[in-house]
């Protein structure tokens, strides 16, 4: 059961990652190219006679195979974690089947690991960000993702604790409230990082960030909507067998 759910999670994730690749190539790559042009214009030109530093990986590979492998691997890995999360959530968060469970877990996952980090530490194009602070920025980013994941787990537990008394709708509201309070506190307390150079075009920054958020949105949407029906088949191993059984039965109670 778990093995098949994981396989389908990674499969849905691969498709999601490749859809993200298509979207990122079309909407994001022009912004990355423009930002790299700004980065190179700002760098000191090589002294005459000095050999030009060879590119380890060409731009063509970076924006083609490299981007596809990155988004594909991200999709597969996120899909595997997503399958585990759905297996735990199934039957435990008040959703009625695997398709709605998958959609809800994807919505929560998208907000938790993509939107919340994006709101505090948004994606940056090349030429933005001081390489000397990468350790600190990576640490803050990981801390915020971890806090958001823990907040989502605590919120789900809080919702489950009150669901019997207040009903599913109010339990979902309570869980959302707990999540919001915890995440807002963390986002306010964590330090601001702003390393955008004054000369960087704001329009380019906006379009880059929008394409980054769009890529994440698509990946999670495809993952959440794609995994549900596949996982439903794992949980309902014999829908084909059931239909003729019902059809063959003359009993009025079959309906």
Partner 1 sequence: MSDSAAPSTVPAPLAGGAIRPLKLPLREIAPWAVLMGALMLLGIYFVGSEAGAFSMVGGTWIHEFVHDGRHLLGFPCH
- Work out whether 205 is an interface residue with partner 1 (CB under 8 A): no
Residues numbered 28-47 forming contacts with partner 1, rule: CB under 8 A: 28-29, 32
Q: 187-195 long-range CB contacts below 8 Å, 24 or more apart?
A: 187/116, 187/119, 187/120, 187/144, 190/120, 190/140, 190/143, 190/144, 191/140, 193/121, 193/133, 193/136, 193/137, 193/140, 195/124, 195/128, 195/129, 195/130, 195/133
User: How far, in Å, CA of 219 to CA of 75, rounded?
Assistant: 7
Residue carrying structure tokens 């794992």: 234
- Cβ-based burial of 115 (10 A; exposed 0-12, middle 13-18, buried ≥19): middle
Query: At its nearest, how many Å lie between partner 1 and the CB of residue 183?
Result: 17
- The three-class DSSP label of residue 57 is coil
Residues numbered 88-107 forming contacts with partner 1, rule: CB under 8 A: 88, 90-92
Backbone angles phi, psi at 251, to 5 degrees: -65, 130
One residue of 1, 41, 52, 192 binding partner 1 per CB under 8 A: 1
Q: How many CA atoms lie within 13 A of 69 on its CB side?
A: 6
Binding mask 207-226 for partner 1 (x = CB under 8 A): -x--xxx-xx----------
Whichever of 108 and 128 has its CB closer to partner 1, that residue is 128
- Work out whether 110 is an interface residue with partner 1 (CB under 8 A): no
Which listed range, 53-61, 164-172, 179-187, 197-205, lies at the site for partner 1 (CB under 8 A)? 53-61
One residue of 14, 123, 148, 172 binding partner 1 per CB under 8 A: 123
Query: At its nearest, how many Å lie between partner 1 and the CB of residue 50?
Result: 21
Given the rule CB under 8 A, which residues bind partner 1?
1-3, 6, 20-21, 24, 28-29, 32, 55-57, 61-63, 66-67, 69-71, 73-74, 76-78, 80-81, 84, 87-88, 90-92, 114, 117-118, 121-126, 129, 131, 134-135, 137-139, 141, 208, 211-213, 215-216, 235-238, 241-242, 245-246
């Amino acid at each position: 059961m778990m093995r098949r759910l994981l396989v389908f999670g990674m499969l849905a994730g691969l498709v999601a990652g490749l859809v993200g690749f298509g979207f990122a190539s079309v909407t994001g790559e022009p912004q990355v190219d423009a930002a790299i042009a700004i980065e190179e214009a700002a760098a000191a030109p090589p002294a005459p006679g000095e050999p030009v530093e060879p590119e380890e990986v060409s731009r063509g590979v970076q924006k083609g195979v490299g981007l596809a492998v990155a988004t594909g691997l991200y999709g597969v890995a996120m899909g595997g974690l997503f399958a585990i999360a759905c297996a735990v959530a199934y039957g435990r968060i008040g959703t009625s089947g695997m398709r709605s469970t998958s959609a809800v877990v994807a919505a929560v996952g998208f907000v938790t690991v993509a939107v919340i980090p994006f709101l505090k530490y948004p994606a940056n194009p090349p030429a933005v960000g001081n390489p000397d602070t990468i350790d600190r920025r990576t640490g803050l980013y990981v801390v915020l993702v971890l806090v958001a994941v823990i907040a989502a787990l605590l919120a789900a537990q809080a919702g489950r604790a009150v669901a019997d008394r207040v009903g599913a709708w109010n339990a979902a509201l309570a869980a959302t409230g707990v999540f919001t309070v915890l995440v807002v506190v963390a986002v306010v307390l964590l330090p601001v990082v702003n390393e955008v150079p004054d000369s960087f075009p704001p329009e380019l920054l906006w379009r880059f960030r929008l394409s980054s958020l769009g890529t994440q949105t698509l990946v999670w949407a495809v993952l959440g909507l794609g995994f549900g029906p596949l996982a439903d088949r794992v949980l309902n191993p014999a829908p084909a067998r059931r239909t003729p059984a019902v059809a063959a039965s003359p009993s009025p109670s079959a309906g």
